[in-house]
Structures are given as structure tokens and as C-alpha cells.
Amino acid sequence: MGRALGGGLIMGVALGAGTAVGPALADGLGLTGFAARLVPAALVSAVAVPLVVFTLRRRGGSLRDIGFGERGGNLRALAIGAGVTSGAAALVLGAATAAGLLSWSRPDVPELAGFLVTNGAVALLLEALPEETTLRGQTWTALRGRFGGVVSALGTTAVFLVVPGLSTVVEAGVAPLVGRAAGPVGLAPGGQNPLDYLILLVFFGLMLVTARTAVRRAPLCAGIGAHLAFLTVNRVVFEGDERDAGWSVHLSSPDVELLVPVYLLVAMAGFAAWRWTERRRGGAPSAAGVGSVSRRAAATR
């Protein structure tokens, strides 16, 4: 339980510290635009990932024990995670478009391509890589070593829900130290409705656990791919205008945003089907770390 909660603590501290120190550092370096956004994102990963590595090495383990693999396996799993999530979004949003719930602008291809590259880099370093490494990596693996899949999934998602609120506390404490105004402390960042935000996180967190357990090789990278696809789809569809994404959507009513949990459920079904297929082909997906760190530590004593 300590290691499981430690994953959430690492992520909360990294996110809060990175988002407080990063903008101050970018201002000090005179950076603007994409470069200024990249600095805090890089800081979050630079804090979170090494702390997880340190935790693993203290027990004789490595990143492979929490779900990373060799380069080929990582890339394959990343593509599966992104593909299943994007396919689920395309299916649900396409049906909504056919029903008249969504209307799309004409895409500006160069601007859209630029957005996909810059948003992808920031989202990877700020959210997808550190959150999956700490939560669906360290937290999930620690829980799965003792509990069944359902309890581990719910426990990992519960820790996930605590991270945004913890990060606002850390940011509020660190920001004045670097000469910046402290942001509001709350369960959700940026003044978002806490209840709506946490409900969405439940669906999102369970989808990411399903992605993480869907493949046998480098399973954590499937979660990273799913995480990136989710952020990209939502930012283009629901925030395209304000983010200058080069493509935007008009919603027939605010209630259309309920399509997000719908396509997350479809993605979960897709990952469950992929897992069933892989089991039929060659056994269950790798537990990726379940008990392996403990066994290695025991072997060295």
C-alpha cells in the first residue's frame, strides 16, 4: 500500500512543482510559445520518472517490472493504445456527427499538423508519460502484487483521483518560492467543476487500466498511447478554437460532451477484446512486475 500511495504522491509532487517552477524558469530564459509550454512539461517528467526508477532500484527492480519493454514492444503497444482509443472516438463521434449533434469546420491541415506535434510533445511529458509511469506503473504493480484485478483497478483509479488536488496544494506551496502567484487549491485544476472532473477521471482511469492490461509486451506503453490519443481527441474536438488546433467542432448542445465517457466505454470494450484475442493467441498478458520486484529483492538478500 505504501508503494501504491507513493506512486500518487510522486505524481502529485512532480505535477505541482513542475507547473509552479516551469513557467518561472521559462520566463527567466525568455522563452515563449511552444518552448515555454515544453519547460514545465519536461520538468514534470524529469521529477516523476527518476523518482520511480529510484524506488524500483531500491528493491532490485527496473522499469521493465512496471510494464515497459524493449523498443519494438514499446512502439507496438503505444500504437495499439492510441489506435484503439482513436478508433473508439471516431466511431462514437462519427455516429454523433451523422445524427447532427456535431458539425465540423474545414480543417487547416498545416496548422492541425503543427498542433498534433506540439500538443503531442507537451502532453507526453506533462501527463501521459509521468502519470502512466507513476500510477498505472508503480501504483498498479504494487496493488496487483497482492490483490486481484478489480481491486487493483479501483485502487489505482482512486489514487488517480487524488493527484490533481494534491498537485494544487504543492503548486500553491512552491509558486511563492519562485516569485509566482499561487493558484487555487481544490480537487480539480483550473477552476473546473470538481464533480464533473472527478467523474470523468473515473471513466478515464478505468479505461487506462484496461489499456494497460490489454497487451502482453510493454503493456504500460499501451496506456501511454491511449492517454495521448484521449488528450489529443478532446483538445481538437472540444477545445479546437481556443487552442488554435486548425480544426474545431460545433456542439449542438453542451450535453454532447457526455459523448466523452461513451467513447471511453467503447475503448474499454476494444481493449478487453484485444486482451481476449492475445490470450487466445498465446496466454494472458504479462503481469509486468507482479511480484517480480519482490522476488528479485529477496534473491539478493
CA dihedral 7, 50, 185, 179 (to 10 degrees): 170
Decide if 91 contacts 266 (C-beta within 8 A).
yes
- For residue 67, the Cα-to-chain-centroid distance in whole angstroms is 14
Delimit the domains of the chain by residue range. Answer: 2-52+69-290
Q: How confident is the model at residue 291 (pLDDT cuts 50, 70, 90)?
A: very low
d(CA 195, CA 135): 21
- Give me the amino acid identity at 279: R
Instruction: Work out the number of other CB atoms within 10 angstroms of the CB of residue 59.
Output: 14
pTM: 0.91
Is 60 exceeded by the pLDDT of residue 244? Answer: yes
User: pLDDT per residue over 58-99, tens digit each?
Assistant: 999 999 999 999 999 999 999 999 999 999 999 999 999 999
What cell was used for 30? 525568455
**What 3-state class would DSSP assign to 215?**
coil
* % of the chain exceeding 90 in pLDDT: 85
Q: Specify the pLDDT at position 287.
A: 45
Instruction: Work out the number of other CB atoms within 10 angstroms of the CB of residue 273.
Output: 12
Rounded mean pLDDT, 210-224:
96
Decide if 3 contacts 156 (C-beta within 8 A).
no
Terminal Cα-to-Cα distance of the chain (whole angstroms): 22
- Give me the amino acid identity at 118: T
Q: How confident is the model at residue 280 (pLDDT cuts 50, 70, 90)?
A: confident
- For residue 197, the Cα-to-chain-centroid distance in whole angstroms is 15
What cell was used for 51? 523518482
Decide if 82 contacts 208 (C-beta within 8 A).
no
Distances (CA, A) of 1 to 128, 158, 293: 23, 13, 15
Decide if 226 contacts 81 (C-beta within 8 A).
yes
User: pLDDT per residue over 98-134, tens digit each?
Assistant: 999 999 999 999 999 999 999 999 999 999 999 999 9
Q: How confident is the model at residue 283 (pLDDT cuts 50, 70, 90)?
A: low
Q: What does 55-95 look like in DSSP terms, one character per residue?
A: HHHHTT--GGGGT---HHHHHHHHHHHHHHHHHHHHHHHHH
